[in-house]
Structure 1
Amino acid sequence: MADRSSPTVRARRLRQQLRQLRDRHGLTLEQVVARSGKAFNASTVARYESGDRIPRPADLRVLLDIYQVGDEQREHLMTLAKDARQRGWWWPMRMALKSGFGVYLGLESEAEAVRKYHSQLVPGLLQTEEYTRAVIRAIELTLGEEQVDERVRVRQVRQRRLVDEKRFHLWVVIDEAVLARRVGGPEVMREQLHQLLRLGRHSNITIQVLPFTAGAHASMEGDFSIMQFPDPDDADVVYLEQATSGLALEDPDDVRRYTLMFGQLAGIALSPERSAELIQAKADEL
């Protein structure tokens, strides 16, 4: 089972708090550099605040001195930096992942709730192994069999947490097209639909289907995920997965827009009960 503690979330929290400390003191990047005795340059401080780099212990101590941070908070931030430098559970399989997906895995590992909309595929957390293999082989034309196996293993680890940790809630809205697309052939697709029915009975998993009859909707331009965290200091994050990379959105306006979009989708989608009936009907057709 993967360790739920996430260096990605720790790094995000650290950079946010460093930026807040500088803003609280009303200092520019150049003023921080001057007060440090030029122990580092402005671009380095900016990278610490953007999350592109984790502060070295010596640099972090200098920054905390400049910001007049007390002992308790100092210890907390030093620990955050140490934890942020650790490697996530997915590190041994990183070469098989698309660029940026490690960021998503780090966020998902510590999220307490994830809301997703998928228009073309069953979400990875709900996929059977054979469905996963069929999807990866179709999308990743250059991956070798060993890399395919690695990606399958990553999804299996993620799925174990979904089933084992009832405090982690997954709420997905999938387009009816997902049920109609025969990924991997009739047998693979039938088993995948049965998997959706099985997982949909878990108390921490909500599955809704957006029927074709719903017509136009707010997310016709693409899929998205919204992650919510147990610590109130960790704001929600939206993740957009692309063909070769991924994008994490943290701007409050962006997050609010996607939150409203998901609310609309959930409102016009079939109820979980009616969704299960439609999934069963699609499975019976196979």
Structure 2
Amino acid sequence: MQLRTVRGAERHGKLGEKLDMPKDFRATTLERAIGRSLAAWRNERAFSLAEAGMRVGFSSAKLSTMENAVQPSAPVDIMALGYAYRVPTTEWQAVVLQAQHAERSRSDLRRVEVFDPAADFVSLVFEATWLRAFTTDLVPTVFHLAGYTNAAMQAGDPERTARWAKVREACSARLTDKDPLVVQAVFPEAVLWQVVGGPRVMKAQLLHLMEVSEHPAVSVQVVPRGAGAYPAMGSPFTLLGFPHRQHNEVAYMETFLKGEYVEEPGLIEQCTRQFTSLQKIALSPGESLELIAEAAAEL
């Protein structure tokens, strides 16, 4: 596409039409990143807004709104800027792809949420053959006692409390199956000394953890304080595997805001590597059991 073609399209309304955005428009972080890329292209070439506008046939005002993400940047407009600024093809194509994704994402935001991973997670626990949990602040949900869950939630999130109770019940039921759920858990030592719910509740939770860790299908490992920094630090996650070949492994992550599934094979492989590294750094199951008993005795 030559520059005169871009300008001609602009004059005929095929490019650069100013969007009539609603007053409540708010740019996403991706749209803001796109704007920064456009500004960087222009600044790298030392073009003023007026000079850049003349080259592509856009007004200075339009370029400013694009760079500052006051309105979405249309993919065709980004393409025009890429040609006008002589940006390397692969570079402007990458930003065009970002803009196309931003358009789809903005459309998705207007849709009604039809699937809630947090609510669905308990079903996956029932279906799974193995579960690997890494937590950073609490005992893994699958091993919770009711009092510990209630204390952790501080009665501030009844829906989440109910979901965690169902996950705990699902795991308990699966451990008594003919083919029990294989559970591997890793968490830092600090979890043992965080007295959630007071000494009585915490001691009961630790004793329960000791009891369940003796189940042949359960492995509990603690990352000792002396280990220093460790893989996935501050980023809890749960991995699940399933009996059917058609069902891929899934990673589940949850915050107080929402739950989220990760299903891309490459990302699952990263989670698997992180968990394996955690197991290598952590104490053995036997050593971990001794540490849990020590923490319980202190309460």
* TM-score bracket relative to the smaller structure: 0.5 to 0.7
Q: How many angstroms apart in 1 are the aligned matches of 2:275 and 2:160?
A: 31
Query: Is 1:223 aligned with 2:219?
Result: no
Aligned-partner residue type, residue 202 of structure 1 = H
Runs of 4+ in structure 1 over 6 Å off: none
Q: How many angstroms apart in 2 are the aligned matches of 1:278 and 1:116?
A: 19
SS in 2 for 1:114: strand
Question: Which residue does the alignment assign to 1:264?
Answer: 277
What do residues 85-135 of structure 1 show as CA deviations (whole Å, max 9, x unaligned)?
Answer: xxxxxxxxxxxxxx5312322222201000010110011110111111111
Aligned-partner residue type, residue 203 of structure 2 = R
Q: Which of 180, 186, 207 lines up with 1:173 in the alignment?
A: 186
Q: Which of 126, 147, 169 lines up with 1:109 in the alignment?
A: 126
What do residues 54-86 of structure 1 show as CA deviations (whole Å, max 9, x unaligned)?
Answer: 9xxxxxxxxxxxxxxxxxxxxxxxxxxxxxxxx
Query: Is 1:210 aligned with 2:223?
Result: yes
> How much identity, in percent, do the aligned residues show?
30
Distance apart, 1:232 and its partner CA: 1.9
What do residues 203-253 of structure 1 show as CA deviations (whole Å, max 9, x unaligned)?
Answer: 011100011111111211310011000112211111111221111111111
Query: Is 1:160 aligned with 2:177?
Result: no
Aligned-partner residue type, residue 281 of structure 1 = E
Question: Which residue does the alignment assign to 2:148?
Answer: 131
Indicate how the Cα distance of structure 1 residues 152 and 249 shifts in structure 2: closer, same or farther if over 3 A, else same: closer
Indicate how the Cα distance of structure 1 residues 117 and 197 shifts in structure 2: closer, same or farther if over 3 A, else same: same
Q: How many angstroms apart in 1 are the aligned matches of 2:167 and 2:185?
A: 16
Question: Which residue does the alignment assign to 1:75?
Answer: none
Query: Is 1:277 aligned with 2:290?
Result: yes
SS in 2 for 1:231: coil
Indicate how the Cα distance of structure 1 residues 106 and 211 shifts in structure 2: closer, same or farther if over 3 A, else same: same
Distance apart, 1:142 and its partner CA: 5.2
Question: Which residue does the alignment assign to 1:190?
Answer: 203
Instruction: Using structure 2 for the length normalisation, give the TM-score.
Output: 0.58
SS in 2 for 1:122: coil
Question: Which residue does the alignment assign to 1:80?
Answer: none
Q: How many angstroms apart in 1 are the aligned matches of 2:121 and 2:161?
A: 19
Q: How many angstroms apart in 1 are the aligned matches of 2:120 and 2:235?
A: 19
Distance apart, 1:162 and its partner CA: 3.5
Tell me if structure 2 keeps the 8 A contact 1:133–1:152: no
SS in 1 for 2:276: helix
Indicate how the Cα distance of structure 1 residues 213 and 153 shifts in structure 2: closer, same or farther if over 3 A, else same: closer
Aligned-partner residue type, residue 158 of structure 1 = A
Indicate how the Cα distance of structure 1 residues 106 and 181 shifts in structure 2: closer, same or farther if over 3 A, else same: same
What do residues 20-40 of structure 1 show as CA deviations (whole Å, max 9, x unaligned)?
Answer: xxxxxxxxxxxxxxxxxxxxx
Q: How many angstroms apart in 1 are the aligned matches of 2:218 and 2:174?
A: 8
Tell me if structure 1 keeps the 8 A contact 2:151–2:197: yes
Tell me if structure 1 keeps the 8 A contact 2:221–2:285: yes
Q: Which of 229, 232, 237 lines up with 2:250 in the alignment?
A: 237
Q: How many angstroms apart in 2 are the aligned matches of 1:225 and 1:154?
A: 16
Q: Which of 222, 247, 250 lines up with 2:260 in the alignment?
A: 247
Indicate how the Cα distance of structure 1 residues 253 and 106 shifts in structure 2: closer, same or farther if over 3 A, else same: same
> Equivalent residues in 2 for 1:23-62 (5 A)?
none
Q: Which has the larger radius of gyration?
A: 2
RCO comparison, higher one (Cα < 8 Å, 6+): 1
Instruction: Using structure 1 for the length normalisation, give the TM-score.
Output: 0.61
Indicate how the Cα distance of structure 1 residues 149 and 247 shifts in structure 2: closer, same or farther if over 3 A, else same: closer
Indicate how the Cα distance of structure 1 residues 284 and 253 shifts in structure 2: closer, same or farther if over 3 A, else same: same
Tell me if structure 1 keeps the 8 A contact 2:153–2:161: no
5+ long unaligned stretches in structure 1: 1-42, 55-98
Question: Which residue does the alignment assign to 1:21?
Answer: none
Q: How many angstroms apart in 2 are the aligned matches of 1:152 and 1:250?
A: 22
Q: How many angstroms apart in 2 are the aligned matches of 1:142 and 1:201?
A: 32
Indicate how the Cα distance of structure 1 residues 148 and 100 shifts in structure 2: closer, same or farther if over 3 A, else same: closer
Tell me if structure 1 keeps the 8 A contact 2:213–2:219: yes
Q: Which of 142, 156, 164 lines up with 1:141 in the alignment?
A: 156
Indicate how the Cα distance of structure 1 residues 109 and 159 shifts in structure 2: closer, same or farther if over 3 A, else same: closer
